[in-house]
Amino acid sequence: MPLLICGKISAMEQEKDYLQILKERAKKSRVYKSYQFVGLTISQLLNDEKHKSLYIKLAKKHSGDHLLAIAKDVAERKNIENKGGYFMKVLEKTHPYILRNSKSQITNNKKIK
């Protein structure tokens, strides 16, 4: 119950209310780009919310429709325990260029002293 001082809510109560509002806002997901939506959809399809940033990164660099098609195919399979891992393995087998490490290209361009 808010403390009333001269008909006003105390500063401490206002601060608690504001912090509560911030906590509630943080729970909501905000998607600003289409690739973010695709990545989040893939993570939900695969029940792999922990790696959603990976899927967003993949969707940013590559065709979201194609990634979604693979994820839907994997999600429909009943006998797979780790759908996220299986998705990555299918991606590695069918599209090895997608998962190539760009760090090796960067280190080759640096000058060695």
Task: List the one residue out of 73, 35, 75 whose CA is nearest residue 53.
Answer: 35
pLDDT at residue 64, as a whole number: 85
Give the pLDDT band (50/70/90) at residue 68. Answer: very high
Give the pLDDT band (50/70/90) at residue 105. Answer: very low
Which helix (H) or strand (E) covers residue 105, if one does?
A: helix 102-109
pLDDT at residue 75, as a whole number: 92
Residue-wise pLDDT for 11-67, tens only, equals: 667 777 888 888 888 777 777 889 999 999 999 999 998 999 999 999 998 888 899
